[in-house]
A and B are shown apart, each in its own frame.
Chain A
Amino acid sequence: MIERYAPLLATIVVFLAIYGFGAVSYNNFFSTLVFGDLITDNAFVIIAAVGATFVILSGGIDLSVGSMIGFVSVALAALVGHGWHPLAAAALLIPLGALFGAAMGYLIDACEIQPFIMTLAAMFLLRGLCFVVTLDSLPISHPFVDAFAGWGIPLPGDGRISASGLLMFAALAFGIVLAHFSRFGANVYAIGGDAQSARLMGAPIRRTITCVYALGGFYGALAGVVYAFYTGSGYPLAAVGVELDAIAAVVLGGALLTGGVGFVAGTLFGGLIQGTIQTLITFDGRLTSWWTKIVIGALLFVFIVAQRAILRSTRTRESLA
């Protein structure tokens, strides 16, 4: 029992340790204000990372998430500029994102194209579409967006859980239910663990893979909407490299990049670990932002090597059994 949850527990412990370190080291760090901001600032990354979790659990990878966020944000800005209601634009763009993901997933399975290279092409395509829509930053000025940015559930102290944060939690909850309580979720885990066996056990591979990338597209587009509302603008170079942040969040969340093992809830903490490191470095005036990347890289290294070691030890146990 405990063994299965060990990586998740490790992630939570790391998060608490980093957060605790901040609380002890800096005044005002341990406050609802900082915590609320942490949630708000990282909401879109975590939403995208939930989608990436499904893709990685299935044994694939999605490099197009950052471009998807960028594209949705500029498309939304452009549509609002043409007089659309932001919600109407979101209602159009989110299914479109899911459809785009589904097409990728279908081609990956049907044409046996490596997910890595397929989503790379998609990344170029979506980023290119960003530039076609606009070359400059487009402001999104609409009362609804202002209201979205201003609204929040007040917490004791000065902090609040913003609308972005709430959306993130909703998306996370949906992901958890889907991963752990639906047949689709069970099939994703099975395919990521051993696609050959999963097929022999009757799991529908093509349908599941198509849905997995559709889900990745859905979450990517949703992250784009949240990002656009949160920043109040659309910018064609927005969210460059967020796919890596998302993948890092999934790995730090305890998922195996080879697929089949991990928890959607872990991704929340993986994302929060990255966010907390960033906050810590901002709090400490002396350190500069590059430390974020180095620390995250080092954490990635530790997690990956530890996973590898665990995997190896179980394998030797098997072969000796």
Chain B
Amino acid sequence: MQAPRVELTNVSKRYPGVVALQGVDIAFAAGEIHALLGENGAGKSTLIKIMTGAVGRDSGEIRIDGAPVEIATPTAAQALGVGAVYQEVNLVPTLSVAANLTLERQPRRFGFIDWRKAREAARESLAKLGLDIDVERSLGSYSLAIQHLVAIARALRPETRTLVLDEPTASLDAREVDRLFAVMRELKARGIAIVFITHFLEQVYAISDRISVLRNGRLVGGGLTRTLPQVELVSLMLGHELQALEARGPAAAKKQDGEPLLAVENLGARRVIAPFDLSLRAGDVVGLAGLLGSGRTEAAKLIFGATPADSGTIRIDGRPVNWRSPRQAMRRGVGFCPEDRKREGLLLDLTVRENIVLALQSKRGWFRRIPRNEQDRLADEMIAALGIATPDAERPAGQLSGGNQQKVILARWLISDPRILILDEPTRGIDIGAHAEIIALIRRLCAQGLGLLVASSELDEIIAVSTRVAVLRDRRKIAEIEGEAITRDAIVQAIAGP
């Protein structure tokens, strides 16, 4: 490895309720493409935000070319030669391409912007990436691939020595990816250090020189790409933290006659997930396993009706129920705990009580309001039953810690008396203690005869609770493993693929 261009030592960052990074040591070398991998919430974004001055670190040291530096603002990062292109292209879609490329550095004549020169400069910087487009059109009118290339062009200033690319390929097709890779190789040859964040393993192996894997805010492993087999990489990414958890032999698939509780056939949506089949019996826990971007969340949302499907059927007790909204799914006894608690789950300003009774209330409709004393009783019961740590039910839900927020969402669905519960990442961002409690709860519910669908990035969690596992890769269901066959190796092999 060459002398590191950017070196982070023992860097930590904590947000209210979450430790985003904990003692991370990582170095990015000149002329090297360094792939940074990890699940949502693993700390990738925080790491690059610290490198690019978008947020400050709590502790640790950053060196650039050996000299310790402070990176307080994005502008300071640019001056230090660190450029970044974020996943949601951080340019202004309503501005022209030329204006985006030259904002705050427009060539001027007599104090006025010289747009002719600005357009020339814009065309030149795009030409370096092999792009020849009309720079006067608005950025938003171009495809995301072009927008990404424009963002790279903006990030590449003469002084740029390090380039961070956050999921640049997420929305590109194969040809566009090739084009981007050509650009990356060219930049690498110029001695630029490239940090490449992606969830596509084949792309990692196609282009990167070195891999680092983050998990729950820690660096859990990595190495030179050519010495790290894909199976080992997948295993690293899926984590191995639940050894403490009692190893339960996968419950023998219960023999049950009659129709499955839930049967999904050929359900799919274009550009979201390829059509898949899935069935769920009472007392089943079906795990949805796969890496980030494999389609776990998408499959869950499709079944719940949160994303509209454009093919397939859903049957409950053998009867087709083609719902088009979460409301209809809920009326049929389906519940859904989303992955992104803050954006899709909790009503942060409302109280714990209100959060808990909302699903039951919307099931009952407008006119059968749950009386206040019943609300209080339900909330207190759930707080006690799930051990939600809150002084009382009238505390705004936003003030609770992550684990307790998750329990509030679970409580919300449990009192609405569901038959099927879909849990997307039920233990994301939750401490170990609460983690075990939620796993125990899942098992208890399953014993009570609910059908559960659990999507998780934690392989051990899937293994611990599932009676059947559906394995997903690249937005496609690729395998289904049942009973005794559910092992870590089997799933990792399926994901890593031939």
Are A and B direct contacts in the complex by CB distance below 8 Å? yes
Asked if B137 contacts A3 (CB within 8 A), the reply is yes
> Which residue of the partner chain, among A3, A202, A321, contacts B103 with CB atoms under 8 Å?
A202
Known contacts A182-B113, A186-B99; decide if A201 and B91 are in contact (CB<8 Å).
yes
How long is the Cα–Cα vector from A260 to B137 in the complex, in angstroms?
A: 14
Interface residues of A in 267-305 (CB under 8 A from B): none
In the complex, what residue of chain A is closest to B101 when comparing beta carbons?
A201
User: By the criterion of a CB under 8 Å from any partner CB, how many residues of chain B are at the interface?
Assistant: 35
Residues of B close to A256: CB separation below 8 A:
94
Question: When each residue 42-75 of chain B gets 1 if its CB lies under 8 Å from chain A and 0 otherwise, what string results?
Answer: 0000000000001000000000000000000011
* Alpha-carbon separation in the docked complex, A77 to B111 (Å): 38
Q: How far is the CA of A320 from the CA of B137 in the complex (A)?
A: 19
**Interface bits A103-123 vs B (CB < 8 Å: 1, else 0):** 000000000000000000000
- Minimal beta-carbon separation of B132 from chain A (angstroms): 16
Contact indicator B143/A321 (Cβ below 8 Å):
yes
Please, which residues of chain A bring their CB within 8 A of the CB of B115? 181
B134 sits at the interface (CB 8 A): yes
Residues of B within 8 Å of A200, CB to CB, are: 54, 74, 86, 90
Contact B95 A193 (CB under 8 A): yes
* B96: Cβ under 8 A from any A Cβ: yes
Q: Which of A1, A196, A318 contacts B90 (CB 8 A)?
A: A196
| Minimal Cβ-Cβ distance residue in A for B134 | A1
A196 CA to B86 CA in the complex, in Å? 12
**Are B91 and A1 in contact (CB-based, < 8 A)?**
no
A-B contact count (CB 8 A): 89
Q: Choose among A193, A198, A203, A256 the residue with the greatest number of B CB atoms under 10 Å from its CB.
A: A193
Knowing A1-B137, A183-B104, A318-B140, the reply to whether A202 touches B113 (Cβ < 8 A) is: no
Whether the pair B104, A187 counts as a contact (CB closer than 8 A) is yes
The answer to whether A260 touches B113, judged by C-beta atoms less than 8 angstroms apart, is: no
B144 in contact (CB, < 8 A)? yes
A203 near B103 (CB under 8 angstroms)? yes
Q: Is the CB of B113 within 8 A of A183?
A: yes
* Distance in angstroms between the alpha carbons of A45 and B134 in the assembled complex: 37
A197 to chain B: which residues have CB within 8 Å? 89-92
The complex places the Cα of A194 from the Cα of B54 at a distance, in Å, of 16
8 closest cross-chain pairs (CB), A and B: A193-B94, A193-B92, A260-B94, A321-B143, A181-B112, A197-B90, A194-B92, A202-B104
Interface residues of A (CB under 8 A from B): 1, 3-4, 177, 180-183, 186-187, 189-190, 192-194, 196-203, 256, 260-261, 314, 318, 320-321
Could you give 22 example pairs across A and B, Cβ below 8 Å?
Answer: A1-B137, A181-B112, A181-B115, A182-B111, A183-B106, A183-B113, A186-B113, A190-B103, A193-B92, A193-B95, A196-B90, A197-B90, A201-B103, A201-B154, A202-B74, A202-B75, A202-B103, A260-B95, A314-B140, A321-B143, A321-B145, A321-B171
10 extra A-B contacts, CB within 8 A, seeds A181-B113, A201-B103: A3-B141, A4-B137, A183-B104, A189-B95, A193-B95, A196-B90, A197-B90, A201-B90, A314-B141, A321-B144
B residues lining the A interface (CB < 8 Å) = 54, 74-75, 78, 86, 89-96, 99-100, 103-104, 106, 108, 111-113, 115, 134, 136-138, 140-141, 143-145, 154, 171, 271
